[in-house]
Amino acid sequence: MKAFKAQEKRASCDLPAGLEAIAFREMSLADLDEVMKIERTSFASPWSERFFIEEIQAPCARALLAVAGERIVGYVIFWLLPDEVDVHNLAVHTAYRRRGIGRRLLQQVIGQARGRGSSRVTLEVRRSNTAAQRLYESLGFRITGVRRAYYADNGEDALTMALVLRR
């Protein structure tokens, strides 16, 4: 009985009330104000609004939102390259973190990569961002290299990671 209650409690804590139904849709320029709020609270050196616009309008770029009800709770921006998918930015609203939304956004990306026959999904992550690294590793990503002094704000290294989908 005790194990059942613990499992029941865990399940009920996964998402706040009303957040069970996460929808995914493409980002548009009309979403940019809400996305920028998440971006600014997520990163010490956030992307500029102009950079988001350039990313969204790039022919190979895709931008997906995670939406709970009417609220944007996360996003991912990635590029569809000839044989791979490259993740450029991923963030979840601070009030909705640690509830599986980032994982579900990445699963959407991985699903699109598989659907188009891509051989892998790649990304960069700050060496200090161990929480993100654990998430990526739990989805099968492995460290493939280091980009020295990759981040302009503080010269931090980036770890390159890849999820191999086919050989």
Give the active site residues.
124, 136
Which residues on adjacent β-strands are paired with residue 61? 79
* Distances 134 to 30, 92, 113, 125, 142 between C-alpha atoms, Å: 33, 16, 21, 11, 10
Geometric angle at alpha carbon 90, from 41 and 134, rounded to 5° = 100
Cα–Cα distance, 150 to 126 (Å, whole number): 9
- Closest C-alpha to 12, from 102, 137, 119, 99: 99
Q: Residues 74, 101: contact at Cβ < 8 Å?
A: yes
What sign for the dihedral angle of Cα 142, 144, 148, 152? negative
